[in-house]
Copies of this chain bind each other. A is one copy, B any other.
């Protein structure tokens, strides 16, 4: 599977913190880049286009607040989720941070596990409501739009046909008899002839071709994938 890694940029002038964060984030499966001051951070951000920036507030050259402001003003970057890191002792206020567009604010010392939970929570939220798709060979089954894409062509299936295909695709290479299919797609409380399945299979094949759903004689149907 080609699940693209999420991109995170960490910015801090202390090398040890950069290393700590980078190590933990990469272990968690993120793609990480780092910068050691605010000016470099903006440069890297433009090229790397991170989804999250962990931004130290107090830095030489250009502090985090100013850096954040620049990021939030940049058309390409202003959707980035910015998390400020700050030592409790520093006088920068949380209020000021949020005023320049910060999205979160964490005080040092950094507790790696807690930080990871926070970041994972962010991505969980981001991904929710997103695609509910199954790609199988050249078939793309999209539950949210009730469509099947076959070589780019979009085919809208009626509900039952879609549910049936979706069910089979979800369980590839597994054979189901008609009663099992009825039970799973029609539900247990409906009385429908088993032959009805045949007709729906027929309709589906008519639309996507015969090569996907295989008949297993004496048993039932399955979605075949090599």
Q: Which residue of B lies closest to A223 (CB)?
A: B145
A129-B79 contact, Cβ under 8 Å, with A145-B173, A217-B158, A218-B159: yes
Query: CB-CB contacts of A152-196 with B at 8 A, as 1s and 0s?
Result: 001010111000000000000111000000000000000000000
Min distance, Cβ A185 to any Cβ of chain B, angstroms: 12
Interface stretch of the complex, out of A12-20, A44-52, A115-123: A115-123
A102: CB under 8 A from chain B? yes
Q: By the criterion CB–CB under 8 Å, are A218 and B158 in contact? A: yes
Interface stretch of the complex, out of A56-64, A91-99, A197-205: A91-99
Q: By the criterion CB–CB under 8 Å, are A124 and B111 in contact? A: no
**Residues in chain B near residue A226, CB distance under 8 A:** 154
A125: CB under 8 A from chain B? yes
Q: By the criterion CB–CB under 8 Å, are A117 and B98 in contact? A: yes
Between-chain CB contacts (< 8 Å), 11 pairs: A98-B114, A98-B117, A103-B121, A105-B114, A144-B174, A144-B175, A145-B173, A145-B174, A158-B218, A159-B217, A159-B219
